[in-house]
Amino acid sequence: MTLFHLAFNVTDLDATRAFYGGLLGCTEGRSTDTWVDFNFFGHQISCHLGPPFASAPTGKVGDHDVPMPHFGAVLPMDQWRVLAERLTAAGTDFVLAPQIRFDGQPGEQATMFFTDPSGNPVEIKGMADLTDAFAT
């Protein structure tokens, strides 16, 4: 097993904790007064105080322009559905609302895009079989 690590900037650690820890349910790890780590669906993210990276909707995927760059996770479909319902119930302002794309094609997936409180774009995908993430 290998872990992916991503460090990026956020503007407010309290809001970041509420979002990643509270809303997304990610377990908090180590922290200082300038950064905090989270277990982001089995991977490590480190949120540091600073100016967030710039993003723009320049990624053409199907009929949608998605924010680039972005990061996220690929979850089993049942876990994705639970998270999509929680985010919807919380009134999340989705960049791309929960939906299925590539229906019936290799790599069929559920997806949703939203931003964290600092404006960092996040995509969460859901797949019936995680090995399909690499289907062609």
Q: What is the pLDDT of residues 20-66, one digit of tens each?
A: 999 999 999 999 999 999 999 999 999 999 999 999 999 998 788 99
Domain 56-134 homologous superfamily, CATH: 2,3-Dihydroxybiphenyl 1,2-Dioxygenase, domain 1 (3.10.180.10)
Give pLDDT, residue 110. Answer: 95
Q: Are 58 and 20 in contact (CB under 8 A)?
A: no
CA-to-CA dists, residue 50 to 11, 36, 101, 103, 118, angstroms:
6, 13, 34, 39, 10
User: What CATH number was assigned to the domain covering residues 5-49?
Assistant: 3.30.720.120
For residue 79 the two structure tokens come to 């876990």
User: What global pTM score does this model have?
Assistant: 0.93
**CATH 3.30.720.120-classified regions of the chain:** 5-49
Can you tell me the distance from the alpha carbon of 24 to that of 30, in angstroms, rounded to the nearest whole number? Answer: 18
